[in-house]
Amino acid sequence: LRRHLCAWGDCVKLRFGNGPEDVPFLWDHMTRYAVSMAKIFHAIRLDNAHSTPLHVSRHVLAEVRRANPHCWVFAELFTGNFQTDLLYQGTLGINALIREAMQTGSVHELAGHLGGTMWGAHPIGEVSMVPTMSRRPIGTRAPARDKEVTMTRSASCALIAASALPLRPRPCPALLFDCTHDNQTPNEKRHPRDALPNAALVAASCASIGSVRGYDELLPFNPSVVTERRQYADINGAKPFSFSLPPVEVQLPTPTNSSTKTYELVWTRPATSSVVARGGWDGWKAEVPLTKQHDGRWLGSVQVSGSAPVQYKFIVDGKWTCDMAQPCADDGHGNVNNVLGGSAAGGGATNADSIAPCPSQGMTGILAVKQVLNAVHERLAREGFMEVSVTHLAGDILAVQRRSAESGRRTCFITRSVYGRDICEDLPWDLGTLEVPGTIAAVHVAATLFVSPEQNYRCGDKTLNGFQSNLKIYSSLGQVAHVWTQGSNTMLKLSHFPPGSVLVFSMSPNEAVRCGVELDMMMTQSVIEEPLQGLSLSDLSYLLFSCEAEESDRSAGDRGAYDIPGFGPLVYCGLFGVCSALDVERSTRGDLAGSPIIQNIKDGDWLLDYLVGRLDNVPALAGVLAWLEKVRSVFKQFPRDLVPFYFDLAVSELCSQAASMLTSQCGPTSSALQRDLAIATGQFWGATPSAPLSWDKAKQEGWQNWGSLCAGLPHFASGFMRNWGRDTFIALRGCLLVTGRFAEARSTLLVYASVVRHGLCPNLLDAANRPRYNARDATWFFLQGIQDYVELSPEGLEFLKTPIQLKWPVKEWDAELAHLEPKTIADLVHLICSAHAKGIKFREWNAGKSIDEHMSDKGFDISVRLDEETGVIYGGNEHNCGTWMDKMGSSDKAGNRGVPATPRDGAAVEIVGLVKSTLRWVSGLDSQAFPHKSVKTSKGTELTYKDWDERLKTNFERLFWIGDDDKSPAATRGIYRDTVGATRGWQDFQLRPNFPIAMSVAPELFTPSYAKRALEIVGDRLVGPLGLCTLDPRDKEYRGDYHNDDDSCDKAVAHGWNYHQGPEWVWPFGYFLKACCYFFDEDHPRFGRRALPALLLAHKRHLATNHWRSLPELTNSKGSVCHHSCPAQAWSIATLLDALACVENGARAP
């Protein structure tokens, strides 16, 4: 049976084999033994659980639970490896682990366990783990109103309603012993006098607790459970001890604070020029002036919260003094002060100075105090004192506070441990002062254990006895500490506290409980929503977001982002700056107590002051400012350790409600992903003085009234690069139309319409001041935007009749088209199509280094032409890049300066799709909405819109489809060409994510079977975690990682030349999803509508766990972070939000 000798001398390990069939007797004997124990006891303990083979324990416990399903299983488990511990816990279903206070090596280690999750603690003021956007307002906290609302109590126990609660890892619960039966006693490991403070700290813990017989009697050793034959001493004299505290009633706040009293301050002694007073009513901060009366007295008054004594001093003619004829008290530091209210007794007098008698007659060791400690521990557990804070006062002196969030009460344990044999009875020179909110309501015990020297110990022949000892129980708190009040807090400094001492007392709640109720009332749904009603998109965006560059622009450089020591600047200056940072901390930390954000909030009100201050001089947000100022005034009455919880409660609630207001225009959101995408759209719309939508309009009406759609944050937040035509109109549908922001969409369309020139929409708008017309695709995304606005807005086709006036008349840039000077939007659409049909050719304004320092001279020549036979639009040259893949080389060292990486000249597939979409739309309009029927080509030929539309449809697949019988050198069959007629001929055949764009706007161009095959190839090769590879990873030109600061000699990557040669861009992903919805049956296992949400799980995670609460411009290969990408990009959010409607609700092809 023996397997091998064990390290312990009194046992061996047994060979169980692989199963009962190997050693039937042993398996049966041990199983019957364990089952018999389970039938007798409520719980069983697995001693040294790690030494029993796991498969044996699993078999035995299965039988135990069959006999007693409610049997609680404790385990002593020390594998030495956390993961192995978890394996045992999960495999065996262990309910609690044995922990032992005597196993800590120092008071600091013990303090860490007491305040940590291992022993069941929640920090006082612990911030809720419920994410910001899972919160629900107080007005919806009744479950009957919303069956989807889950009620939860946070650790700080304000009720929080949530749509979902996060599952958080917690350690296996502890059964905490002061000392166990087979380990060293205080005498053997520390000092006999440590038995009392060690027991008190165990009682202070949030864990279930236990002890071993003999510990309380101060046995110097643990008797052997095998060989010891002597009896324990009789302790029948230990009668049960009980006590109770009066109940605490919390009154709702009233307009007048009944707990605030006005006291008169009187100085009757001589004074020459001034008498003022300072005191604990405000933490000794402000001076209270006294006025001289005709009778020579000086009078003043002060309001004091609560009924506790408050100390103060007079400052007479600049000298600090007190009036000994009035009530005085010692402040605990040898100073005498005058005192208002309560008792004026010196030496630490309080309203709970006396101690209830503690029965000790006939009890040895620490038995008398141990009963008090056990009773306190049991009451704290029963009444929900689950919050803990541990303060190291000095040396081996700890102060542990247990708090009930329900009542606001606190119970404090102060102990002086004895970890060594050398004892110094004096108090440490660096002893700190303990500050506790409220006033002392009851002192449960104050005691010191003295033990006779070890050499005097004699153990009985028949009875086990402990050390001779003296348990000194003090009758007055003043015998061990000085106590005074400061404001609404109690200050305590130990005055006589030898090693082996304990002090346990309970506090009455201070004004924090009442203030918590008041704050709760402020956060009811009706109250918190009122100041948010009627706010515009710009107002809400400023309240919630505003990155540092925007904030600096809006404040004329006076204000940037809030910078947290040890953390860094918040990414937003608005509410989501701190809320998203806290949400990230929630998802990455086991608890938030160590977060620099929480520490900053606890240390001072600077962050709240910042959030309040930035709303000054914003008239529309005056109501929100008033609400926050009221919240701030309430916060100042909370103890600092509770401020983080209430800060998170209030600020997250406001943020959640403002975000809900932001999405309310979108209609109901059907999923958390749709909600988060809709919220993210608000990041990009806003007004900045350096980049209004239109300079001319801003001069007339103020820049605040002319917001624009930012391309991405933070790189495009302000200045002339904030607004781009291509980016704007790719993002328009998702950011402004499906979200119901039609006024903003309309103003955007009209401003861009006013600066159409050369038949092109500008790429870089520059506030309609000095636009740049170097993009061939921006114009067709603009026309798609007009079509989408007409489709989705209430205005509909009437928009086409909207009057416009071009900033640069047609005659200035094409005399042949001067007769088409547009008067309406419909006329403008016709003008653009006519210009393309005729052909466009010009050289950019101010061509040269002033507008593009990298482009070669020929790149400034812009040309577009129509192939009349096929209806396809061609354009560009190998020296410029007129589509969204527009990276221009800039490295002299690598030789790519002035060389486009992806010129995509010729006919780009997405432009062809956009042209087809516009032709299909206008040719289907009646003459009242669109009175134009045809255009003239460069040859002067009349070409109707219907004919043009039909030619494109007839010729598209002949030109673009690469089938199995295609004679081209294409490496991949079953896809569509990226371009036709490119100067770099091989680039026509490269697999890129552009044809899904054409599929989503003009699906009628594609044969369904071909489209499905091509989309499957995209799904197999290009789909990454967040975006689509911009080039097939199998392509020889593929370079998947973009680094704009690459200064190598490698032309392919230097200065980020591979921007569109592999990195995974997010915005095309939305078009891919829409294309899949159009072409695949909804039940297709990979790309059907029901399967597509699986492709969005990474986006959902990213939105919820990213500081920017957004999606990036691009990622590097396999979804890795690209540090040179915008972390928040408008079109990334927009196309996915638009596509999500198709995925979740189904979609019809246009």
| Residues labelled catalytic | 47, 50, 182
The Cα angle at residue 962 between residues 961 and 963, in degrees rounded to 5: 105
Place of tokens 């009957």: 144
Which 3 state secondary structure label does DSSP give 497? coil
Contacts of 167 (CB under 8 A, 6+ apart): none
Cα dihedral sign, 691-692-696-702: negative
Contact present, 562 and 610 (Cβ < 8 Å): yes
CA quadruple 1085, 1088, 1094, 1100: dihedral, nearest 10: 180
Q: 437 is written with which tokens? A: 């909110």
Residue 803 CB-half CA count within 13 A = 1
Contact present, 738 and 666 (Cβ < 8 Å): yes
Crossing angle between the packed helical segments 643-663 and 511-522, to the nearest 10 degrees:
0
Q: Give the chain's end-to-end CA distance (angstroms, integer).
A: 79
Contact present, 700 and 1100 (Cβ < 8 Å): no
Integer Cα distance of 1084 and 1079 in angstroms: 10
Contact present, 697 and 772 (Cβ < 8 Å): no
Integer Cα distance of 508 and 438 in angstroms: 6
From 981, 779, 768, 784, select the one nearest 867 (Cα to Cα): 981
Integer Cα distance of 938 and 627 in angstroms: 65
Which 3 state secondary structure label does DSSP give 290? coil
Contacts of 9 (CB under 8 A, 6+ apart): none
Contact present, 407 and 517 (Cβ < 8 Å): no
Neighbours of 610 (CB within 10 A): 17
Integer Cα distance of 390 and 398 in angstroms: 7
Helices (H), 938-1007: 945-960, 995-1001
Contact present, 897 and 890 (Cβ < 8 Å): yes
Crossing angle between the packed helical segments 606-613 and 622-635, to the nearest 10 degrees:
160
From 745, 574, 116, select the one nearest 388 (Cα to Cα): 116
- Detail the DSSP E strand segments found in 268-394: 275-279, 288-289, 291-292, 298-305, 310-316, 319-321, 328-330, 336-340, 387-394
Integer Cα distance of 539 and 53 in angstroms: 65
Which 3 state secondary structure label does DSSP give 1079? helix
Three-class secondary structure assignment of 22-73: CCHHHHHHHHHHHHHHHHHCCEEEECCHHHCCHHHHHHHHHHHHHHCCCCEE
Integer Cα distance of 601 and 618 in angstroms: 25
Contact present, 287 and 277 (Cβ < 8 Å): yes
From 770, 775, 793, select the one nearest 730 (Cα to Cα): 775
Integer Cα distance of 735 and 713 in angstroms: 15
Q: Name beta bridge partners: 21.
A: none
DSSP string computed for 525-560: HHHHHGGGTT--HHHHHHHH--BHHHHHHHTTTS--
Task: Return the H-helix or E-strand segment holding 91.
Answer: helix 82-92
Q: 527 is written with which tokens? A: 């109250």
Q: 3 is written with which tokens? A: 């397997």
